[in-house]
Structure 1
């Protein structure tokens, strides 16, 4: 099944958001390591706690993008910017 342009954009947006979360988590992990090495262990632990939920959210967004592709989620009308 071919996706409409709004649904193609929705799928791209979801995949882009998932990728952004993935790379942000990697960057924040590096920052947490540097913080820990600099003596800010409690701040590093707090940062790690925050990013621990990133993979679950990333997986959800990828799953939603797959549902858009399968036609189970659709954009009713094109969103105005």
Structure 2
């Protein structure tokens, strides 16, 4: 079982993570449109950390939880 501190840090990192390549390079993951994540879901998310974060962001967006990430980004520095 993961500790709450780890989950908090993972969300803070997700809120501050920027896309490292492509059309949305240097954009926060939360600011990338949902359709981009849907396309990746169909084609396959990248391996590793970025792929896990993009998968999480896709779930956040399809469930309408973007404000949670914006609040975390405003209130917690990385």
Please indicate, yes or no, whether the TM-score normalized by the shorter chain is above 0.5: no
User: Normalized per residue, which structure has more helix?
Assistant: 1
Higher RCO (C-alpha under 8 Å, 6+ residues apart):
1
TM-score when normalising by structure 1:
0.27
TM-score when normalising by structure 2:
0.28
Q: Which has the larger radius of gyration?
A: 1
